[in-house]
Amino acid sequence: MWMRCLLLAVAVGLPSPTAVPAAEKPEHLAGWGKPTDPDGDCKIKLDKKVLTMKLPGAAHDFAGELERWNAPRVMSKVDGDFILEVKVSGTFAPTPESTIPGRLAYNGAGILLVSDKDNHLSLQRGAVNFGDRTRHYLNFELRKDAKLPISLYEVELEDKPVFLRVERRGGKVYGMGSHDGVKWQSYDPIEVDFPPALEVGVVGISSSKGLFDCELEGLTLFRKAEIKEPGK
């Protein structure tokens, strides 16, 4: 039995819906977690229930094999099994030119699970530029010991908002996506050896030379409820 609850965070009174400089960013965004902008060139804004990330035309990724961890993200700590859902919208239109050598230009946003900088897993609404076309797909990847042993990209998506769901169940993580929140497309689970406590949340990724705007909303965490019998 799963009990629905929001990620715990400290409510912060923002002076306005306008994004503030990195040095002035709040330590937590209510219902989301701690915002991080390593390079200080992205904008992270929470306006009512919608989290917006704006990334400039420079390389921003969270990938151990690239030794790059500068992606803007908002994270919290979670212990044990859980299900995390979020809706991802925005303009996913990477330019033909990539900012990461050897990689196609990419826009992505979604869920990130982090054990440490070299061991992490992500599920993203992704878009990659092939020159004559842009492919939209569900991107499910595992980084282990600063390598990329698993990269799943077969599930096609339409260029429209996507609901993402990640479920951690023991040593397996399930990833799925849906355009309507009812009919889901999923991958086979990825086996992980993560510790019980992880940092989990949302992330924006781009290797496009153009500005990338993404919106995330409805972040919801489901936890297993402990039901005790009366009198015990």
pLDDT tens across 52-76, in order?
Answer: 999 999 999 999 999 999 999 999 9
Instruction: Kindly report the CATH class assigned to 2-11+27-224.
Output: mainly beta
- Over residues 164-188, the mean pLDDT reads 97
The pLDDT mean for the chain works out to 89
Give whole-number Cα distances, 9 to 74, 75, 110, 180, 188, in Å.
11, 10, 19, 28, 32
Q: Which residues, other chains included, contact 50 with Cβ-Cβ below 8 Å and sequence gap of 6+?
A: 215, 216, 217
Q: Which pLDDT tens digit goes with each residue over 190-221? A: 999 999 999 999 999 999 999 999 999 999 99
Domain locations in the chain?
2-11+27-224
Binned at pLDDT 50, 70 and 90, residue 12 comes out as: very low
Query: Residue 178: in which H helix or E strand, if any?
Result: strand 172-178
Measure the CA–CA gap between 105 and 97, rounded to whole angstroms: 6
- The per-residue DSSP string of 186-212 comes to EPPPEE----SEEEEEEEEEE-BSS-E
User: Left (φ > 0), alpha (ψ -120 to 50) or beta: where does 52 sit?
Assistant: beta
